[in-house]
Amino acid sequence: MKALLVGEYREGKLLESSYELVGFAKKLGIEFEFFLVGSKDQVPQVDGKLYLADAATAKEYNPALHKQLIVAAAEKAGAETVVFLHSSYGWDLAPRVALALNAAQFSEVVEANAEGYLLPACNAKLRRRVKATTGKTVVTLQVGAFMPAMGGAPQVEELSVTGSGDCEFIGYEQAEAGEVDLGKAEVIVSAGRGVGKPENVAMIQALAKALGGEYGASRPVVDAGWVPHDRQVGTTGQVVSPKLYVACGISGAIQHLAGMKKSEFILAINTDKDAPIGEVADVLVVADIKQFAPALTARLQG
Amino acid sequence: MELTRELYWNVGHSVLIPMYLLVAAAFGVMIWGVRKRLTSYRLGQPLQRTDRRAERLSGVLRDVFLQARVMRVKGAGSAHGIFFFGFVLLTIGTTLVFIQADLLDPLFGVRFLTGNFYLFFSIVLDLAGLAAIAMLLGLAVRRYLLRPKDLPNVGDNALMLVLLLAILLTGFLLEGARMAATELGTDLSWWSPVGLLFAQPFAGMAEASQRALHTGLWWFHFALVLGFFCAIPFTRLRHLLLTPTNIFFRDLGPVGKLRTIDLENEDAESFGAAKLADLTWKDIFDGDACTYCKRCQDRCPAWNTDKPLSPMKLVNQIQELSFSNPDASLIETVTTDVLWSCTTCRACQEICPAAIEHVPKIIDMRRHLVLMEGEFPGEEVTKAMESTEINGNPLGMAPAARADWAEGLDVADLAAGETAEILYFVGCYATFDKRNQKIARAFIQLCSAAGVKVGILGKEEKCCGEPMRKLGNEYLYQMLAAENIELIKGTGVQKIVSACPHCFNTLAKDYVDLGLELPVEHANSFLAELLGSGKLKLKPAALDCTYHDSCYLGRHNNLYNAPRELLQAAGASLKEMQKSRDESFCCSAGGGRILAEENIGERMNQARARMAAETGAATLVSSCPFCMSMFEDGIKGADLDEQLKPRDLLEILAERIA
Amino acid sequence: MNILVCIKQVPDMESRFKVAAGSTWFEESDLAWRINEYDEFAVEQAVQLKEQNAGADLTVLSIGPARVKEALKKALAMGCERAVQVVDAAAHEKDPFQIASAIAAFAKDKNFDVIFTGMQSQDRGSAQVGVLVAELLGIPALTTAVEFAFADGSISVRRELEGGLKAVVKAPTPALVSCQLGLNTPRYPTLPNIMKAKKKELLEVPVADLLQEQPRTQVLSLAYPEKKGSAQILEGDVADLVEKVIGILKEKTAVL
């Protein structure tokens, strides 16, 4: 089996997550070649062949042109499988390539073996094991599901494409600063009444930063004015489902639980081991958040 | 000397014809004024309020002639009552004069204002007049010198006070002039002590002057009385007519039961109230009947936590629109922030001396916003509505998990065909909220201890629809209610008990219109009965607590004593809050507000938590899962969690099962 | 203007899913059903577009058994003109390619100017159907829209990328737009519209009339990943707890 890995390039930079594709191929022990619409000045560190198209002509986003390029590369590589990340780039492009190749497609793969692929269903509550009934497959990988892997310098083969495609990419827009959308955060560390006083919110912010996420709060903390309302997690605030949710000193009022229980992994820190948060948490650390949070932050930074 | 006086002394019987003509004219003006107002009341929708007339009338007698509603508030209320009694006595006196002088005496030669009765008549009227003047002066001092905060004031108030005072004073001057000429120095004069006082300025005058002044005063007094009648429809004196009428037309209950909309009505183009004409005539009449006493506003938990809702202002706005701009948008005038602020706690309606119904007006306008505009106080509420449509509960929890709380308890699943003595309607919060599940479990423990087999609807139970209905979503409420009713009827159960006052009130009163006619009880009264009959036995243990009367148990269902009896039996010592029983202050969760963010003003639950803390009690006991949720948050939010713990009455009882 | 919006009925994600041994899909008993959240945004955008363009026509389509009529009725109450149920009792066994083929077969000769779909479904989350329908029809697909505008025969959307970044993309109609959460605020149907919806046309088309394609994928099994419900309790000294937590986060999450 041979795979074509489709890397991602945005705002003039190779996206680091692209290396997860290599990690996937290596984990499965399959042969691969790499594809990227990018720039000669920033060649990804991968072993083997790299099919490289110039983003100056093919644009960073142009699904019709990128599809043509990928199909051409897949044919050149003799790939039976084309692998994307399950991202705004990957899920947009993968079905187009799959259709062009008459391939079966699997989305958001979290694991693979000889039998087939493992896909999440129903908000990761369930998992499906699936396999293709066709010769070729296109898969998108859940971001973060596979460890990234790098290689040496690739052997570059340049590809080019003509035409304009059916939709026009106008440009990028960065979100306005100060606007918090917890719904999109991958890690959320939330403060509950257990933090004790407003000054202690800072230790929650520090932990959130150390984990590369956003900080949030339960309703009483927001009500008390310790944390702005746009950071409230719960049915009356934002309903969130990050990869990691850390509930700090939150006992777990129903309104709060309903707003965060869909998180993939929930770590709760509470002095009461019978607190309702334990119903939804994966791990409940019985400790005073005022001691635990600074210790964990220090360990993460150290 | 004969113990009587000459009626029509000095003015003579020749005034009779002009007098009666003028009185007739004044009544004509009054009737014309009232009729003009009727056109505004007629803008409203029909509503049947003339049934059960004896009951209606006896209420009028109690609340008008005994001043029962008015005198519930000390101070201004008592002053109003005493003034009223004085004024009524004077009116009776004048009527007796009329009966003797113009009817019995000329026709039959019968005189009854003589002898001891005359003495009694004299002194009673004198003292009544004195009391009335004193009360008026007191009320004037309150209004103009010691004005309570937010008491609205208009020219009418001054006119009323001056007119009434002038009538009373000219009456006494008139008496004084007559007495100076006829009674001074006799024993009879002592029976009119106030008149005697007013006679002093006239005492030294020649009789001709006394007579001339008397004639002048008589006509002036008479003119003032005519003015009084004419002014009734055009000033706030109209409450003399409108308050008794409004009490007659009052809502005879069940308390707090809302009008059920016919959603199948194909001809209905609009639901709820967007403009004045969508309200009922009674709603418009209510507006005119308001006496601006602001008792509702004083008690409104929304107003008292800096929200824009004043029940009085809302009613006043309806009145203003009905007489000035009936085609204007009612909802825009009132504003949506005002409408969404109401917790339907009924404190306003409970205290209103004019029997005005505030809450149904608010619900009617909410109904328009929801049913016609799809508008809610916030996105969180829209979400809760959608969750309820999908999952049958506003929390968006899996319906399949609805019976999880009862695991390990001896409970029959009635929906699965098992049988029991009573159906326990659990409600969403006791079902899904970990904290409130303790209440549900406590109820089962108590019933088991008393030997009562309890059944539930299991995962088939749906939200009773109360928060949705109070927020105006009549459609969703009726859908939920229909499903619950069909299910309940299918179980064949004969009695329903709920530990949630919202479910209880809804099932007991609102479901009747949709076909459920089973007895429904709240857990408190049900357990009080079991305790009384000896089936439930408690071993008392000390508890230092205060008790919060849930709006839907107390004001809506008059269940004030059962929880207190149970607390006593449990060995608790109760420290009452200043605002308790029918003056209880809402926890903020009523009126569907439990589903909404409270983002205007102070937090109501914190305000109530502080009131509880002021008693010094260590436990805040309530009997409602909604209150429990609010106090759990409110006590923490007010930083009182070190000193105050919220508990449900049932938890306390369950700990003391003997 | 002729608009199509495709919706899927899915179980509410709070539902308690039961999977029979050896089964490849969950049991349908005890589930609460709803319109796929992403599709609600699609319906709202379609209705807004219809309202902006006088005389526009809006069809809502769903594939599935009788229960999907509930979802269609809600879409009608939100403002769609007519509903089409592609009747398929075994829709859950069809793969995204088959579903897309059926929709494309339905849409082929109907000259839709704009087709809306959700970006993905909540239950399967393949994020394929919308793009596949566009590709099968040969029209541009603008995916992951968080902002939508239509003017002069051209659609402009903001695509949501990662890390707060958005991309502005334009395409002429006919085109397909897949909708991301937050695109708009789906309306709550008013009572008169609920009543009207009861009288709107609801067309049934047997799936066999539209679908000839064979599936390209096969589901082998469906299962719960691991038992959730009660937390692993960690107690002890804070320093030890920190080490344990770091270990667990490394092992169980992709965050560290």
| B407-421: average pLDDT | 94
| B588-592: average pLDDT | 97
Geometric angle at alpha carbon B541, from B539 and B546, rounded to 5°: 125
* C71 → chain B, closest CA residue: B390
* A102 → chain C, closest CA residue: C216
Beta carbons within 8 Å of A188's beta carbon, 6+ residues apart: A182, A208, A213, A214, A215, A216, A233, A240, A242, A244, A245, A246, A260, A263
pLDDT digits (tens, 9 = 90+) for B10-58: 888 888 899 999 999 999 999 999 999 999 999 999 999 999 999 999 9
Chains that touch A (3 or more CB pairs under 8 A): B, C
3-state secondary structure B531-564: HHCCCCCECCCCEEEEECCCCCCCCCCCCCHHHH
pLDDT averaged over chain B? 95
pLDDT digits (tens, 9 = 90+) for B611-648: 999 999 999 999 999 999 999 989 988 989 889 999 99
* A180 → chain C, closest CA residue: C164
pLDDT digits (tens, 9 = 90+) for B223-256: 999 999 999 999 999 999 999 999 999 999 899 9
Residues of C in contact with B392 (CB under 8 A): 32
Q: Is A134 on the interface with C (CB under 8 A)?
A: yes
Residues C209, C63 contacting (CB under 8 angstroms): no
CA distance B157 to B656: 57
What is the full per-residue pLDDT of chain C (256 aa) written as tens digits? 999 999 999 999 888 899 988 889 999 988 999 999 999 999 999 999 999 999 999 999 999 999 999 999 999 999 999 999 999 999 999 999 999 999 999 999 999 999 999 999 999 999 999 999 999 999 999 999 999 999 999 999 999 887 668 999 999 999 999 999 889 999 999 999 999 999 999 999 999 999 999 999 999 999 987 655 578 899 988 899 999 999 999 888 888 7
Structure-token match 């899920």, residue found: A91
| From B373, B382, B390, residue closest to C190, measured CB to CB | B373
- Short-list B551, B367, B598, CA closest to B468: B367
Residues of B in contact with C192 (CB under 8 A): 269, 372
Q: Is A82 on the interface with C (CB under 8 A)?
A: no
pTM for the whole thing?
0.90
pLDDT at A176: 61
How is A159-209 classified by DSSP, letter by letter? E---S--SSEEEEEEEPPTT---GGG-SEEEEE-GGG-SGGGHHHHHHHHH
In the structure, what pLDDT confidence band is assigned to residue B453 with cuts at 50, 70 and 90? very high
**Quick one: CA torsion of B91, B97, B100, B105, rounded to 10 degrees?**
-160
ipTM, 2 dp: 0.90
Q: What are phi and psi of B411, to 5 degrees?
A: -130, 135
| B375-390: average pLDDT | 93
- Residue C89 tokens read as 């009792």
pLDDT at A239: 79
| From A220, A258, A279, residue closest to B633, measured CB to CB | A220
Sign of CA dihedral A96, A100, A106, A110: negative
Q: Does B350 score more than 80 pLDDT?
A: yes
Q: How far is CA C11 from CA C7, C8, C16, C17, C32, in A?
A: 13, 10, 9, 9, 6
B265, amino acid identity: N
Between C96-107 and A90-101, two packed helices, what is the crossing angle to 10 degrees?
80
CA distance B175 to B197: 10
Chains that touch B (3 or more CB pairs under 8 A): A, C
pLDDT at C21: 86
How far separated are the first and last CA of chain A, in Å rounded?
Answer: 43
CA distance B517 to B293: 39
- Short-list B462, B492, B458, B460, CA closest to B477: B462
Q: How far is B397 from chain C (nearest CA, A)?
A: 6
How far separated are the first and last CA of chain B, in Å rounded?
Answer: 81
Residues C106, C61 contacting (CB under 8 angstroms): yes
CB-based contact C192 B401, cutoff 8 Å: no
- Residue C82 tokens read as 């007519």
- Residue C115 tokens read as 């087709």
| From C120, C169, C217, residue closest to A170, measured CB to CB | C169
CA distance B183 to C94: 111
- Short-list B545, B478, B468, B466, CA closest to B508: B466
Q: Assign residue A299 a region (left: φ > 0; alpha: ψ between -120 and 50; beta: otherwise).
A: alpha
pLDDT at B626: 97
| B423-445: average pLDDT | 95
A252, amino acid identity: G
Please tell me whether residue B361 adopts helix, strand or coil conformation: helix
- Residue B588 tokens read as 């903020």
Residues of B in contact with C194 (CB under 8 A): 475
- Short-list B419, B421, B297, CA closest to B351: B297
pLDDT at A175: 63
CA distance A32 to A2: 5
Q: How far is C100 from chain A (nearest CA, A)?
A: 11
Residues C141, C67 contacting (CB under 8 angstroms): no
Residues of A in contact with B606 (CB under 8 A): 223
CA distance A249 to A260: 15
- Short-list B462, B443, B434, B435, CA closest to B522: B443
CA distance B580 to B577: 6
In the structure, what pLDDT confidence band is assigned to residue B368 with cuts at 50, 70 and 90? very high
Q: Which residues of chain A have pLDDT under 50?
A: none
| B381-393: average pLDDT | 95
Residues of B in contact with A223 (CB under 8 A): 603, 606, 633, 637
| From B379, B392, B401, residue closest to C16, measured CB to CB | B401
Q: How crowded is the C-beta side of B308, counted as CA atoms within 13 Å?
A: 11
CB-based contact A224 B433, cutoff 8 Å: no
CA distance C178 to C145: 6
